Amino acid sequence: MSNVVNLSDWRREKDSKRAREMNVKDDMRSSLDNNLVKERYKINELSEDERFRRIQERIKRINTLMRELEANNK
């Protein structure tokens, strides 16, 4: 004997599987769009001056840490 398949249940399951696959594809596509990522994670674009200032601060911090390491190794 063969099993009887309810076509409406089969279609519903197939449609839900397709919908899940499409959601994954949409999420992957949106993760490649920089503007959507910035909007989702609320990332603000920094001005060049801000970026330059932050880089200078990091350089100063790294130099300070390097001096401390050199002082501790002597």
pLDDT in tens, 55-72: 999 999 999 999 999 999
17-39: average pLDDT: 83
Output the pLDDT for position 45: 86
Q: What does the alpha-carbon distance between residue 53 and residue 63 come to, in Å, rounded to a whole number? A: 15
DSSP structural state of residue 45: P
Residue with structure tokens 């999420």?
27
**Domain coordinates of the chain in residue numbers?**
1-43, 46-74
Task: Say how many Å lie between the first and final Cα of the chain, rounded.
Answer: 86
Instruction: Give pTM, 2 decimals.
Output: 0.45
Task: Assign 1 a pLDDT band (cuts: 50, 70, 90).
Answer: low
